Amino acid sequence: MKIIVLVKQVPGTDSVKLDPVTGVMVRTGKDTIINPLDENALAEAIRIKNTYPDVKITAVSMGPISAMKAIKEAIAMGADDGILVSGREFAGSDTIATAKVIAAAIKKTGDFDMILCGERATDGETGQTAAMIAHYLGVPAQTYVSALEVLEDGVIVKRTVESGFERVQVTFPVLVSVNKDISDTGFPTLDGKLKAKKVEVPMLGNAELGFDKSELGLTGSPTRVVKIFSPKLSRDTIMVKANATMQPIDELMSFLVQKDVL
């Protein structure tokens, strides 16, 4: 079984920055981590690998050269190898352009059985990219998955929905985006770190993927952040002191009538 795990390098919680002009996330800097929910996806892939024979895990990431750190960390945790999709032409891509590029990179890896990824990334919180990747690959997507059972030709997943849970059986190939309940995250091991140093991680750019430049980056992104601003909290507060009389209640009722609430 071949499992692809999508790992995204994101800024640490305290270092999220946006370019005020373009609205694009600033992804340079040393304070970066693997997206936490992608770590849950990786942990589930490793659990499957430890349970079933002949499982290979490939970590795939799209980002600047510094995103190689995320690939190496994934290998140190238990992935077998990885691929980094990187190039200046990809900078500023929205979820649509990103999904298109990642799907093309996955196709370059050959046939696969399952793609695992987090349901969303902490630097965007859109939760859109996974389903879009499935669309471009032409495979079914199962989202908000909190547990899965591997079958001979597919998986049974437990999806979190508004009314509770639902169980869905789907055949391979399939994309599964997971929530934090899927598996406890692990840690790199010493053997894993030594392996990660030795593994050569190939990089794919547009020379290998062959997109027209109009499809990439800001130019190829039909959605973008128009304006960035800090929210302002401004309220005209009226204090009504409670006492033994009906006066505070009368004042409150009068205020609600004035505001057309009553």
Note the pLDDT tens digit of each residue in 17-74. 555 555 555 655 567 899 999 999 999 999 999 999 899 999 999 999 999 999 999 9
Using CA atoms, how far residue 165 sits from 49, 66, 162, in Å, is: 26, 38, 8
Residue 240 lies in a domain: no
pLDDT above 90 (res 251): no
Residue 244 lies in a domain: no
State the residue range of the domain holding 125: 2-219
Q: What is the pLDDT of residue 16?
A: 55
Residue 167 lies in a domain: yes
pLDDT tens for each residue of 83-101:
999 999 999 899 999 999 9
Residue 32 lies in a domain: yes
For residue 173, give the CATH number of its domain: 3.40.50.620
Number of domains in the chain: 1
